[in-house]
Amino acid sequence: MFGECGLRLPCLGRGRRRAAAGKELEPVLLVSGIGGSVLNARNKKTGRKICVWVRILLANLEFKKYVWSMYNTETGYVESLDPDYEIVVPEDDYGLHAIDILDPSWWAKCLHLTDVYHFHDMIDMLVECGYEKGTTLFGFGYDFRQSNRIDKTLDDLRVKLESAYKASGGKKVNIISHSMGGLLLRCFISLYNDVFAKYVNKWICIACPFQGAPGCINDSLLTGLQFVYGFESFFFVSRWTMHQLLIECPSIYEMLPNPEFNWNQQPVIQVWRKPSEDNEAVKLDVYDPTECISLFEEALRDNELTYNGKSIALPFNFSILKWAADTRQILDNAQLPSSVGFYNIYGTSFDSPHDVCYGSETSPITNLSEVCHTTPEYTYVDGDGTVPAESAKADGFAAVARVAVESTHRELLKDKRVFQLLKQWLGVNDNSQHSMSSSKVMDVSIEPIPIELATRDLL
C-alpha cells in the first residue's frame, strides 16, 4: 500500500480485510459524474499524454489548448479544437485512478489538496471492508463532455461490467454512481436493458439530477461555472473559460430542467430589462423551461472565442438541444429490470439554485448579450447545494430505499452516514440494525454533521 507521496507504508488491518474477503464480496463498480474523471490529452501521432482535467498549475492555459471543443453534428461527438489531440480517460488501477484524486500530480497528493479528492475516501473505505482492486473493486470514468447516450461511453461501460463480472468469478456487480453518472446508467438501462439485468445486482445512486439541476445548468449555459473562489481561483480554470466549453457539451444540455416534470414550483430565469437607452421603462421578463431557449439564443448570438488567432463562433447550439431532447425520451423510457435492487441517496438542507435572475430594477439589462457577463442572483430550494432534492429523489423507479442525507453534493462521497448505508446495502456491516433489503421504499432523513463548503460543487 502506498502513502500520499508514493512511499510504501505498512499494510495495516490485513487480517481484517482477509476475513472480510472471505465472505466472497460481490464486485463494486464506482461511476463518476460530470467533472469527476481525470482527462488526458493524447497526441494522435506520438501517443504523448498530458493531464488537462483536473490540474492546478497552468490549468486555464492547458484547458483552453486541449479541452475546448466543438460539437460534430454528423457524429454527435464533441471533438477537441486541436486536431492533433484527443481526450482520453486513464484506465490505470482498474479504472479507479481516474476517479480517485482528480489532480494526480505528486505535489497535489503531498500537499493533501482535498478539493481534488473525489472517490478517494470511498475507495479507502471499501478497501478497508475487504474489497480488492481488480477483483471486487473497479472504477468507471469517462469523457464527461460527451452525451450520456453516446455509443463509445456506453460500449466502454458494457465492457467494464463484463470485466468486473468475470474478474469476480461470475458474481453480479453492485454499482455506486454519483451525480450525472446516474443519468449515464439510466441511458444504459434504457438502451441495454438485458445487459444491465445480466451483470448488475444492485444500483446505489447518489445525488443524481434525474429531472435536471435548474439553477446551476441554466446559469452554466449563460455565464459558465466557477469551481474555486478566492485566491485559489487564480490557479484554476476560469468561469469564462469553462463557459466556452459547456456551450458545446451535450451532457450539460441533457441536465437542463425537464419541462414535463411536475415541479413544486416551475424553475424560471428572470431578466430585469430596459428595452433601450432611450426608454426608461424597466420590466421583469420571466422565462420558463421552454421559453428560456429564446433567451439562450439571443444572449449567446454573438458569443465567440479566439483559438490560435482565429475567431470561432459559439452561439447556443440547437443541434445539441435536439440531441438532448431525444436523450430525455430515452431517459424517460428507462425500465429498471425487476432483478436489480435500486437505492437512492440524495442531499438535503443546503440552499440549491432553482431560479436565476440577471440584472436588477435599478441596474437593468439593455442588450441580452450582457447577461453572459452579469453576476447571477439565485432563488434557492432544498437540496445538496447543486441538485434540488425534488429532482434527485424523482427517479421513477421502484426503489428499495430512498434516503435523504444532510450533506452537500460532493461531500456525499465522503459522508460517514452515506458510508454506513453503503455497508448495510452491500452486506459488509455485520452490526447493521436496520435491514433495507425489502421491496418497500424507505424515505429516511439522517441528522447532519457540520460541513464547511469551500468550493462550488461538481455535478
**Catalytic member of 80, 177, 179, 190:** 179
* Cα distance from N-terminal residue to C-terminal residue, the chain: 30
Smallest CA-to-CA distance from 406 within 396, 416, 398 is with 416
Q: Give me the helices (H) in 168-291, please.
A: 181-191, 193-199, 214-223, 239-246, 250-253
The CA distance from 294 to 289, in Å, is: 10
Smallest CA-to-CA distance from 199 within 443, 406, 420, 29 is with 29
Q: Is residue 384 annotated as part of the catalytic site, yes or no?
A: yes
Cell, residue 83: 486536431
The CA distance from 410 to 118, in Å, is: 8
Q: Is 176 exposed, middle or buried (0-12, 13-18, 19+ CB in 10 A)?
A: buried
The CA distance from 378 to 346, in Å, is: 21
Q: Are 178 and 36 in contact (CB under 8 A)?
A: yes
The CA distance from 225 to 170, in Å, is: 42
For residue 99, give Cα distances in angstroms to 11, 102, 119. 23, 6, 6
**Catalytic member of 219, 354, 409, 415:** 409
For residue 424, give Cα distances in angstroms to 12, 392, 436, 437. 23, 21, 8, 9
Cα angle: 332, vertex 335, 341; to 5 degrees: 125
Smallest CA-to-CA distance from 30 within 189, 160, 128, 145 is with 160
Q: What are phi and psi for residue 274, nearest 5 degrees?
A: -120, 115
The CA distance from 417 to 426, in Å, is: 14
Q: Is residue 430 annotated as part of the catalytic site, yes or no?
A: no
The CA distance from 220 to 285, in Å, is: 19
The CA distance from 64 to 307, in Å, is: 8
Cis amide bond preceding 340, omega within 30: no
For residue 11, give Cα distances in angstroms to 22, 234, 423. 18, 39, 22
**Catalytic member of 384, 395, 415, 457:** 384
- What residues act catalytically? 179, 384, 409
